[in-house]
């Protein structure tokens, strides 16, 4: 069931409830109005009659004079007034509106709802000649019922018009809102398909405009991340090809030439006059050289010491190696023995991160001191904290976003579900810290 249908059904149900409640209140108020009006007319007529008979002159008035005087009460609404003779004959003095007097009378159900059974009121009259008459006053609310019927109809027409206007306004707002939602959904589908540069338009409603702004910002970040990943992939492929080319070149230059030399010496050794001892020594030296080259290649591809002795020994060996190659750089490392129990994947990534940090320091920082700190934190010892800090010239972090060194470090830390923080200011060195869950 769509949102539009649900909202329309609920709005219509609410409007029906309003009509029922408004109708109930209108009928209740109409009944109260009819009752009050009829009661007021009856009280007024009785007061007028009592006032008329209390006059001193009334003692000298004849019966015909009283009938004429009572006829003046016809201006009093909602009453049927009759005079009953001692013989039982009645004389109609006033007569209110009857249902057959007017064609637009209210329906019977409305009359039954707003009117009640009103009892007759009897008032005895004694003439000057001693004749006793009975004044009968019968309430008749029909004319008041006609008035409240017209008022009720006007009220319902006004209420229906207001409901229609409200419904049209709500429907227009709902239509506009759902159109905005459709536009946002289409934009999200385009983002799902990788079309990050198709931004959403501005909306006239502030809330939807805020959502569109957030989605456009997300699309921009995704587009930037995609471009960075593409550049990082190209850079990784380039490094991979360069590494393969370098290894191929070393295999050709070193292994190929050395093997060729060994083969030549082996052929030479087959002659009777060949100096076998010298040839053997030469072959031994060439084999030692090949073993050193192979060991160097293996260390570049993957440090075997990491598998054999653990992360701590590998890092200490790397620090010693860098210190020998860069005697002007003071390298220190702090790491616990617990590092040797880390998962192999975590260990190799930590090793590569530190290796990349030292490479960046040597190439760009011009630092004199570098400190590497590894420690296991947390109440359950489930968090590894790494920090590599130098006292080099530092830099503006925002101006090195195009480099691949820090981006590669960030991707490695992210692959371990860790968080990376880089702090640096020009002239104040750089500190690269990472927090990695290890359990």
Q: What is the pLDDT of residues 102-118, one digit of tens each?
A: 556 778 788 788 777 77
Give residue 99's pLDDT: 47
What integer is the mean pLDDT of 187-209? 84
- To the nearest 10°, report the CA torsion of 82, 87, 88, 93: -10
Instruction: Summarize pLDDT for 173-196 with one digit per residue, the tens.
Output: 888 888 888 888 888 888 888 888
What integer is the mean pLDDT of 395-419? 76
Specify the higher pLDDT residue, 3 or 18: 18
Q: How confident is the model at residue 76 (pLDDT cuts 50, 70, 90)?
A: low
Specify the higher pLDDT residue, 104 or 364: 364
Specify the higher pLDDT residue, 398 or 282: 282
Give residue 372's pLDDT: 92
Residue 306, pLDDT above cutoff 70? yes
Give residue 67's pLDDT: 59
Q: In the chain, what percentage of residues exceed pLDDT 70?
A: 85
Give residue 58's pLDDT: 47
What integer is the mean pLDDT of 30-58? 69
What integer is the mean pLDDT of 219-236? 80
The pTM for the full model equals 0.49
What lies within 8 Å, CB to CB, of 344 at 6+ separation is 307
What integer is the mean pLDDT of 244-256? 74
Q: In the chain, what percentage of residues exceed pLDDT 90?
A: 3
Specify the higher pLDDT residue, 319 or 64: 319
Residue 401, pLDDT above cutoff 60? no
Least confident of 7-16, 150-159, 172-181, 250-259: 250-259
Residue 327, pLDDT above cutoff 60? yes
How high does pLDDT run on average in the chain? Answer: 78
What integer is the mean pLDDT of 213-242? 80
Q: How confident is the model at residue 387 (pLDDT cuts 50, 70, 90)?
A: very high
Give residue 51's pLDDT: 64
Residue 64, pLDDT above cutoff 60? no
Give residue 324's pLDDT: 85
Q: How confident is the model at residue 57 (pLDDT cuts 50, 70, 90)?
A: very low
């Amino acid at each position: 069931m769509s949102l539009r249908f649900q909202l329309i059904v609920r709005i219509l149900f609410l409007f029906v409830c309003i009509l029922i409640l408004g109708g109930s209140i209108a009928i209740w108020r109409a009944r109260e109005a009819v009752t009050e009006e009829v009661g007021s007319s009856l009280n007024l007529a009785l007061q007028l009659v009592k006032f008329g008979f209390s006059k001193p002159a009334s003692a000298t008035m004849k019966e015909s004079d009283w009938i004429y005087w009572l006829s003046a009460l016809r201006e009093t609404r909602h009453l049927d007034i009759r005079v009953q003779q001692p013989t039982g004959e009645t004389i109609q003095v006033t007569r209110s509106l009857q249902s057959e007097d007017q064609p637009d009378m209210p329906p019977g159900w409305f009359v039954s709802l707003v009117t009640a059974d009103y009892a007759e009121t009897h008032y005895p009259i004694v003439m000057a000649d001693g004749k006793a008459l009975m004044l009968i006053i019968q309430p008749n609310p029909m004319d008041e019922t006609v008035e409240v019927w017209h008022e009720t109809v006007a009220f319902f027409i006004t209420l229906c018009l207001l409901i229609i206007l409200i419904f049209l306004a709500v429907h227009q707002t709902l239509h506009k809102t759902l159109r905005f939602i459709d536009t946002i959904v289409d934009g999200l589908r385009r983002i799902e398909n990788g079309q990050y540069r198709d931004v959403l338009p501005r909306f006239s409603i502030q809330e939807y405009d805020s959502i569109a702004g957030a989605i456009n910002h997300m699309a921009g970040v995704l587009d930037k991340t995609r471009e960075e990943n593409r550049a990082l992939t190209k850079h990784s492929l380039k490094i991979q090809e360069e590494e393969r080319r370098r290894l191929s070149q070393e295999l050709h230059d070193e292994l190929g030439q050395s093997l060729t030399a060994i083969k030549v010496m082996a052929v030479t050794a087959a002659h009777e006059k060949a100096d076998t001892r010298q040839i053997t020594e030469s072959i031994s030296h060439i084999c030692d050289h090949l073993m050193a080259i192979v060991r160097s290649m293996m260390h570049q591809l993957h440090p075997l010491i990491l598998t054999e002795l653990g992360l701590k020994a590998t890092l200490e060996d790397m620090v010693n190696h860098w210190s020998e190659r860069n005697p002007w750089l003071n390298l220190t490392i702090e790491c616990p023995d617990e590092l040797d129990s880390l998962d192999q994947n975590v260990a190799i990534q930590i090793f590569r991160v530190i290796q990349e940090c030292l490479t960046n320091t040597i190439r760009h920082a011009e630092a004199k001191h570098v400190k590497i700190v590894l420690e296991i934190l947390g109440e359950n010892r489930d968090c590894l904290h790494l920090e590599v800090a130098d006292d080099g010239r530092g830099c503006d972090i925002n101006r090195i976003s195009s480099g691949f060194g820090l981006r590669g470090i960030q991707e490695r830390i992210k692959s371990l579900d860790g968080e990376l923080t880089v702090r640096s200011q020009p002239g104040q060195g750089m500190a690269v810290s990472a927090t990695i869950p290890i359990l």
